[in-house]
């Protein structure tokens, strides 16, 4: 039932009507934005400022902040790294620990804490055709092991793409393709299940410019990362997705009057899939 409802909503979103709407955006003073995470792969924090909604320039991480992460009485200072446009440390986080972030910047102090759950080992990830109503949908399906089968658990995922298609000439680098959050409700006991709709077969056949970012092309490289997160971070990202549609900022879990978030999580990654449309199989329910 959950899958059927999700598919119907997705088809409606992909095939819905369009209407031009003019918005009168009001300019406001820039606000500090802090985005940070500590994982089993290290720690990275960016300090930027908010910008006008009409400004398409990617924000640059600002130097001059003092950034530290503390756990179990041990404090690590993250140096500014101009090459990666961030403050970072290679020190890996440890599941089961709570981490505190402290940032001092431009005379202001910001802080947050987050708990780091165990990782969810990925079992499989692949693309399938799934029939729904009069459509065939390209579905990305991922299965992982739930690290806490008796508890409600929360996850963030990001699917990246490298495309060599002529539509994306000059963009042969990793770009986010899809991202989102989920919990383990509706998954079989002890499992984590993600089904992500990519595009309909009709959409792929028409290949219209407005859908290029959704359509996958032969030769596209696809990889996914799955991170276990605590509930406050899950709620932040959930409100961020809702805010993207409604124009509202999510409430930060960082105190001090800034935007952004701080997460502690365990990351697992899939192998890279080189997409080939003719090799995609029909979906069959997992036994």
* DSSP for residue 233: H
**Contact 93/38 with Cβ under 8 angstroms?**
yes
Percent of the residues in the chain that have a pLDDT greater than 70, as a whole number: 84
Burial of 234 (0-12, 13-18, 19+ CB in 10 A): buried
**Stretch 253-274: mean pLDDT:** 96
pLDDT averaged over every residue in the chain: 87
- DSSP-derived 3-state class of residue 209: helix
Partners of residue 86 on adjacent β-strands: 81
Distance CA 114, CA 91 (A): 16
Residue 100 burial (C-beta neighbours within 10 Å; 0-12, 13-18, 19+): middle
Which tens digit of pLDDT belongs to each residue from 267-279?
999 999 999 999 9
Q: Give the tokens for residue 264.
A: 């502690």
Looking at residue 15, what is its pLDDT? 47
* Tens digits of residue pLDDT in 162-204: 998 898 876 677 889 999 999 999 899 999 999 999 999 999 9
Residue 266 CB neighbours (<10 A): 23
pLDDT beyond 80 at 3:
no
């Amino acid at each position: 039932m959950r899958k059927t409802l999700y598919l119907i909503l997705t088809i409606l979103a992909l095939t819905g009507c369009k209407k031009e709407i003019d918005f009168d955006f009001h300019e406001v003073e820039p606000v500090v934005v802090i985005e940070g995470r500590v994982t089993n792969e290290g720690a990275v924090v960016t300090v930027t400022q908010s910008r006008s909604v009409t400004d398409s320039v990617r924000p640059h991480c600002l130097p001059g902040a003092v950034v530290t992460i503390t756990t179990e009485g041990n404090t690590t200072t993250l140096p500014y790294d101009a090459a990666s446009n961030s403050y970072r440390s290679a020190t890996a986080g440890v599941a089961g620990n709570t981490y505190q972030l402290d940032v001092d910047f431009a005379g202001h102090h910001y802080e947050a804490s987050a708990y780091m759950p165990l990782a969810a080992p990925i079992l499989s990830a692949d693309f399938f055709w799934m029939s729904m109503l009069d459509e065939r949908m390209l579905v990305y399906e991922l299965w992982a092991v739930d690290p806490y089968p008796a508890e409600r658990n929360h996850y963030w995922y990001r699917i990246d793409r490298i495309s060599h298609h002529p539509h994306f000439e000059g963009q042969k680098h990793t770009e986010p393709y899809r991202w989102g959050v989920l919990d383990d409700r509706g998954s079989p006991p002890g499992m984590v299940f993600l089904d992500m709709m990519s595009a309909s077969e009709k959409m792929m056949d028409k290949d219209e410019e407005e859908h290029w970012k959704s359509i996958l092309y032969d030769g596209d490289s696809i990889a996914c990362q799955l991170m276990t997160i605590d509930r406050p971070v899950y709620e932040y990202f959930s409100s961020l997705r809702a805010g993207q549609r409604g124009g509202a900022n999510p409430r930060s879990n960082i105190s001090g009057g800034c935007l952004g978030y701080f997460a502690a999580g365990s990351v697992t990654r899939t192998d890279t899939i080189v997409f080939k449309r003719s090799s995609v199989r029909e979906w069959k329910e997992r036994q």
